[in-house]
């Protein structure tokens, strides 16, 4: 078995994902209410409402509780001298290797919600792919970004 | 230093004009069809009925004049170490392309170019993908002028290497004498026929014919035909077969013609460190691919071609512009799989085209068809229920999916050599990729819980292709084999022993 990358992302990232989940399920709730009202108005059978409620509960459970938790537990990253290794995925575990030599540039981004929690995400671009580490403390992210960019400049082709 | 400014050949104006017309064909058709309907209501002879013609003439004149202006305003010249282009009427645009950035010159000879011994040149630069407009096009210049550009580039590059070191100068001397071109591959007429017959194009042509016929179905007096069809059917099965045969024959002939137009005299020649590809009957194309830009080699075997032992070889090359679809270059559009090794080895000596394959383990078999059953079984049950008894025929899907799955299982594999990863997999076609380690942009291992239970995993890697990436993936191999690839890909720490670049 390969060793897991050592660094986890910020616990605040979990909070942000939960928040995203709450927003999504609020939208779903709206749709469900519309559907429920329609069903009542058109005198549809009562069990439709039950299904709608169950669906809403399940959706909220998955997207507010379970998925963010699994996702957060899974997310690992490690920036080594010669390569970057990422691990993520809720159901399917994906482990990505990006050699420093291939890194072309590194960006950090920060949306309004991330900013509120003092978080930022890092995107590492190669000539053909993009890899994002989702939620790091802003200071950490900036530091990591400059570290990757120095390492990428130093890295030499071994072939 | 020649500061003289050169113009394109006047034929460029005509080419511009025709290109403008081509872009206009669609709107033109719409306008005229729309007017065709109105024409009935307007009284003939009234001046309004001429409006479409007037508009048409004005547009034509406009396109013609703009074509001429484009030609008139387009000049190019050589600076010390760059090619300069200037064009535009109101907004003058200048583009300077340093010679060293020029990757290759691609030649196209259209029908209009031929009689005047002209070529269209597309200049490909090593744009790192940031700018989509990194290349230039000289629409029509004489072959001599093209030669001149080539020599300018060559001499500029020579000057540069002269500056850098004296050893290079000696090398230049020997190289200068003659650029050696080694023929690698050419397609015979027989290959062309097989290519046309086995290409998907034939299906496209056939369906095109059907669409064409259905489009005109309104014009066809069906009732009358229906009676005839009854008679026709009485004549028997024989005639039906003949008609179908005729259809296929027409489709085949069209497919052959199209293929011949595109691939006539398809040849691959190696010139120094470039691959030069020439093809085409009416429009001759010459494309050069610097070997150093090749990112990976892909072999495709469609089931039909595989039966006869044929395959297609494609090279993925980096750089180029957005609109250029030719980045996936068919190196050998059709070649016997057995004969593939020799020409490929000549071109790419660093590659190993017959590596030792590690294939998928036996316990991975169900993974190749299991997921498909998830959607097939509900569909089958539904169809069988609603269209009983014929719906039961959908049961045939089961053996088909099983067989395809097993076939895919048999094809899946990977191979590691020191600097190269080879990946083989099958969708319906069988793909074999050869990728150098230094071309792989990233590597990703994937594992679902089901795979984990059976100690399996999948792997995918991305290489640069055009300005985007191409992803290569093989699924359900042994976990340990996949992990071996991950470890192989991890860069080894190079200590100072390799030291400084020479």
Phi-psi region of B96 (alpha: psi -120 to 50; beta: other; left: phi over 0): beta
Residue A50: other Cβ atoms inside 10 A: 10
pLDDT the model gives residue B229: 66
The residue written with tokens 């062309």 in the block is B192
Token duo for residue A17:
């994902």
Question: What residues of chain B lie within 8 A of the CB of A95, using their CB?
Answer: 444-446, 486
User: Residues in chain B with pLDDT < 70?
Assistant: 1-3, 31-45, 126-135, 160-179, 200-207, 209-226, 228-237, 319-328, 467, 493-502
Closest residue by Cα to residue B348 from B295, B307, B417: B295
Residue A49 contacts residue A118 (beta carbons within 8 Å): no
The 8-class DSSP code of residue A84 comes to: E
* pLDDT at residue B213, as a whole number: 65
* Whole-number pLDDT of residue B111: 86
Q: What ipTM did this prediction achieve?
A: 0.86
Among residues B261, B256, B268, the alpha carbon closest in space to that of B330 is found at B268
* Phi then psi dihedrals of residue B77, to 5 deg: -155, 170
Nearest to B441 among A2, A129, A158 (CB): A129
Peptide bond before residue B95 is cis, with ω within 30 degrees of 0: no
In terms of CA atoms, which chain B residue is nearest residue A88? B446
**Amino acid B47: pLDDT:** 72
Residues B279 and B263: beta-carbon distance below 8 Å: yes
The DSSP string of A18-69 is HHHHHHHHHHHHHHHHHHHHHHHHTT--THHHHHHHHHHHHHHIIIIIIHHH
Q: What is the pLDDT of residue B131?
A: 47
Closest CA to B464 of B30, B121, B129, B114: B129
Instruction: Give the end-to-end CA distance of chain A in Å, rounded to a whole number.
Output: 27
| Distances B359 to B374, B452, B463 between C-alpha atoms, Å | 26, 18, 22
Strand order in the sheet with A83-88: A7-8, A76-79, A83-88, A93-99, B440-447, B456-465, B468-478
Please give the Cα distance from B136 to B120 (Å, whole number). Answer: 11
- Distance (Å, rounded) from C-alpha B134 to C-alpha B126? 8
Q: Which residue of A has its CA nearest to B419?
A: A159
Instruction: Assess A42–B contact: CB distance below 8 Å, yes or no.
Output: no
pLDDT digits (tens, 9 = 90+) for A3-39: 889 999 999 999 999 999 999 999 999 999 999 898 8
Single out the residue of B107, B280, B275, B260 nearest to residue B183, CA to CA: B275
Chain B residues with CB under 8 Å of A94 CB are: 444-446
3-state secondary structure at position B169: helix
Residues B464 and B296: their CA atoms lie apart, in Å, by 9
Q: Within an 8 Å CB–CB cutoff, is residue B130 touching chain A?
A: no
Question: How far, in Å, CA of B17 to CA of B243, rounded?
Answer: 43
Question: Which chain B residues touch A102 with a CB distance below 8 Å?
Answer: 440-442
The whole-number average pLDDT for the span A89-114 is 91
Q: For chain A, how many helices (H) and strands (E)?
A: 5, 7
pLDDT number for residue A63: 93
Which among A92, A102, A157 has the least Cβ separation from residue B446? A92
The DSSP letter of residue A134 is E
**Residue A109: strand pairing partners:** A121
Q: Identify all chain B residues contacting A148, using CB atoms and an 8 Å cutoff.
A: none
Interchain proximity A159–B437, CB inside 8 Å: yes
- Given this model, what pLDDT does residue B319 score? 62
Determine contact, residues A149/A106, Cβ cutoff 8 Å: yes
pTM over 0.80: no
Residue of A nearest to B442 (CA): A98
Chain B residues close to A98, C-beta within 8 Å: 441-442
Q: How far apart are CA A74 and CA B230, in angstroms?
A: 69
Residue B10 three-state SS = coil
- pLDDT at position A11: 92
- Which residue does chain A place closest to B455, by CA atoms? A1
**Cβ–Cβ under 8 Å, residues A75 and A4:** no
Q: For residue B81, how many other CB atoms are within 10 A of its CB?
A: 16
Instruction: Using a pLDDT cut of 90, give the percent of chain A over it.
Output: 70
A–B interface: beta-carbon pairs under 8 A:
84
- E-strand ranges in B318-396 read 328-336, 358-359
Cβ A97–B318 below 8 Å, yes or no?
Answer: no
Average pLDDT estimate for A117-124: 93
Q: Is A93 on the interface with B (CB under 8 A)?
A: yes
Question: Beta strands of B225-371 (E only): which ranges?
Answer: 267-271, 274-279, 284-290, 294-301, 310-317, 328-336, 358-359
A142/B166: higher pLDDT: A142
Could you give the CA distance from residue B359 to residue B94 in angstroms, rounded to a whole number?
Answer: 55
């Amino acid at each position: 078995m390969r060793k897991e990358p050592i660094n986890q992302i910020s616990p605040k990232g979990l909070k942000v994902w939960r928040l995203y989940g709450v927003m999504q399920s609020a939208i779903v709730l709206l749709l469900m209410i519309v559907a429920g009202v329609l069903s009542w108005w058109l005198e549809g059978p009562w069990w439709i409402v039950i299904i709608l409620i169950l669906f809403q509960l399940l959706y909220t459970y998955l997207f507010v509780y379970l998925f963010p938790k699994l996702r957060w537990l899974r997310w690992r990253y490690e920036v080594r001298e010669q390569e970057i290794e990422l691990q993520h995925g809720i159901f399917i575990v994906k482990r990505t290797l990006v050699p420093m030599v291939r890194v072309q540039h590194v960006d950090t981004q920060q949306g309004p919600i991330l900013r509120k929690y003092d978080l930022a995400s890092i995107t590492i671009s190669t000539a053909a792919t993009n890899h994002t580490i989702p939620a790091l403390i802003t200071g950490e992210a900036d530091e990591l970004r400059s570290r990757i960019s120095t390492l990428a400049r130093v890295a030499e082709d071994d072939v | 230093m020649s500061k003289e400014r050169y113009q394109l050949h006047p034929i460029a104006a005509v080419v511009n004009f025709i290109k403008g017309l081509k872009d206009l064909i669609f709107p033109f058709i719409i306008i005229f069809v729309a007017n065709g309907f109105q024409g009935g209501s307007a009284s003939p002879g009234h001046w309004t009925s001429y409006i479409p013609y007037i508009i048409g003439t004005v547009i034509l004149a406009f396109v013609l004049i703009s074509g001429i202006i484009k030609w008139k305003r387009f000049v190019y010249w050589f600076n010390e170490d760059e090619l300069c282009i200037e064009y535009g009427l109101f907004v003058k645009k200048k583009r300077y392309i340093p010679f060293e950035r020029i990757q290759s010159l691609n030649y196209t000879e259209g029908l209009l170019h031929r009689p005047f011994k002209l070529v269209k040149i597309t200049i490909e630069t090593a744009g790192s993908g940031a700018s989509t407009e990194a290349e230039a096009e000289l629409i029509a210049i004489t072959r001599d002028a093209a030669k001149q550009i080539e020599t300018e580039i060559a001499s500029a590059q020579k000057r540069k290497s002269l500056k850098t070191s004296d050893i290079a100068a000696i090398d230049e001397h020997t190289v200068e004498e003659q650029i050696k071109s080694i023929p690698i591959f050419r397609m015979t007429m027989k290959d062309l026929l097989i290519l046309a017959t086995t290409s998907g194009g034939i299906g496209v042509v056939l369906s095109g014919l059907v669409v064409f016929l259905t489009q005109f179905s309104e014009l066809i007096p069906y009732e009358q035909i229906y009676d005839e069809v009854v008679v026709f059917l009485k004549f028997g099965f024989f005639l039906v077969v003949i008609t179908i045969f005729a259809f296929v024959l027409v489709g085949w002939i069209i497919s052959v013609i199209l293929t011949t137009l595109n691939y006539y005299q398809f040849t691959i020649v190696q010139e120094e460190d470039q691959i030069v590809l020439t093809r085409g009957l009416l429009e001759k194309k010459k494309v050069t691919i610097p070997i150093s830009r090749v990112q990976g080699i892909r072999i495709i075997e469609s089931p039909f071609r595989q039966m006869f032992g044929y395959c297609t070889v494609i090279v993925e090359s980096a750089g180029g512009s957005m609109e250029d679809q030719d980045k996936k270059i068919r190196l050998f559009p059709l070649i016997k799989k057995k004969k593939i090794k020799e020409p490929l080895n000549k071109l790419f000596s660093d590659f190993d085209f017959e590596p030792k394959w590690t294939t998928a383990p036996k316990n991975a078999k169900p993974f190749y068809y299991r997921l498909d059953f998830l959607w097939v079984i509900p569909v089958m049950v539904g169809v069988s229920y609603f269209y009983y008894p014929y719906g039961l025929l959908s049961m045939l899907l089961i053996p088909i999916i099983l067989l395809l799955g097993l076939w895919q299982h048999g094809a899946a594999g990977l191979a590691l050599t020191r600097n190269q990863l080879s990946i083989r997999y099958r969708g319906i076609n069988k793909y074999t990729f050869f990728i150098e380690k230094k071309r792989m942009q990233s590597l990703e291992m994937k594992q679902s819980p089901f795979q984990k239970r059976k100690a399996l995993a999948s792997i995918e890697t991305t290489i640069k292709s055009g300005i985007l990436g191409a992803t290569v993936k093989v699924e359900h191999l042994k976990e340990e084999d996949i992990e071996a690839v991950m470890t192989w890909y991890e860069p080894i720490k190079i200590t100072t022993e390799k030291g400084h670049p020479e």
